[in-house]
Amino acid sequence: MGRTENTYKNSFIIATLLTVMVTKENSERKDRNMNSEIEVRSYCSHDLNQVKKILLNYTSPTGRVWNENAVEEMMSDALKEQPDGVFVAEINGEVLGFAIVIYRDWFNIAYLDYIQVKMEWIGKGVGHKLIQKCIKWVEEKGARILYTETEKNNERANKFYQKHGFKITGSIPDYYQEEIDAVILVRKLLHFKTSFQFRMSQGAR
């Protein structure tokens, strides 16, 4: 291979690498911009139809398929039990995902009942924004822990929760249906430990 051909080949490789790097940088910048535009707010009744559209694209690990009546019933039950614990993530009025979190005052713990994101928005920061909101909300309630469950073999969900400070503490065999187990994930809330230690130190004086 001659020097000229070698030089041409090296130049082509460098140009290709630069194109890949610029494309990746532009994509990451676009994702960051979208992430900053995502707003999480309390659920309103006019969000119901968009929540339906999200869930109707999913099947439950129980094998059941969502329908409009089932979604309406779930949202109605959630609002009755914890009216201030239902949130949606949106951009320019488009609902991208939602979350339901319930505070159990008697035990001073919180349960992340549901979190779901539009399929085309998975991996773009919507779930992150929603779970951050839920964690902040339960901390303001004064909960000791936040817990949830998900399918044992759902690798993406398990990684998502563990990335946000949850730890697998156990499992429930056949929870969703036969041979489909659930894992229990728990996040201890640091603020509670800190405030508890502060109260103890104040009481010891």
Q: Are both 160 and 132 inside the same structural domain?
A: yes
Same domain? 16 vs 61:
no
What does the pLDDT look like over 71-121, one tens digit per residue? 999 999 999 999 999 999 999 999 999 999 999 999 999 999 999 999 999
Do both 155 and 107 map to the same domain? yes
* Same structural domain, 81 and 179: yes
Q: Measured between alpha carbons, how far is 22 from 194 in angstroms, rounded to an integer? A: 45
pLDDT in tens, 45-56: 999 999 999 999
Q: How far apart are CA 205 and CA 203, in angstroms?
A: 5
Angstrom distance (rounded) from CA 113 to CA 120: 22
Closest C-alpha to 95, from 105, 86, 107, 82: 86
Shared domain for 92 and 188, answered yes or no, is: yes
- Judgement on whether residues 63 and 145 belong to the same structural domain of the protein: yes
Are residue 8 and residue 53 in the same domain, yes or no?
A: no
Q: Which domain holds residue 150?
A: 38-203
The CATH number of whichever domain residue 78 belongs to comes to: 3.40.630.30
* pTM confidence score: 0.78
Number of domains the chain is built from = 2
Do 22 and 50 reside in the same domain of the chain? Answer: no
5 and 42 fall within a common domain: no
pLDDT band of 18, cuts 50, 70, 90: low
Tens-digit pLDDT profile for residues 126-177: 999 999 999 999 999 999 999 999 999 999 999 999 999 999 999 999 999 9
Rounding to the nearest 10 degrees, give the CA dihedral for residues 32, 150, 136, 163: -50
**Residue 38: which pLDDT band, with cuts at 50, 70 and 90?**
very high
Q: What is the mean pLDDT of residues 179-198?
A: 77
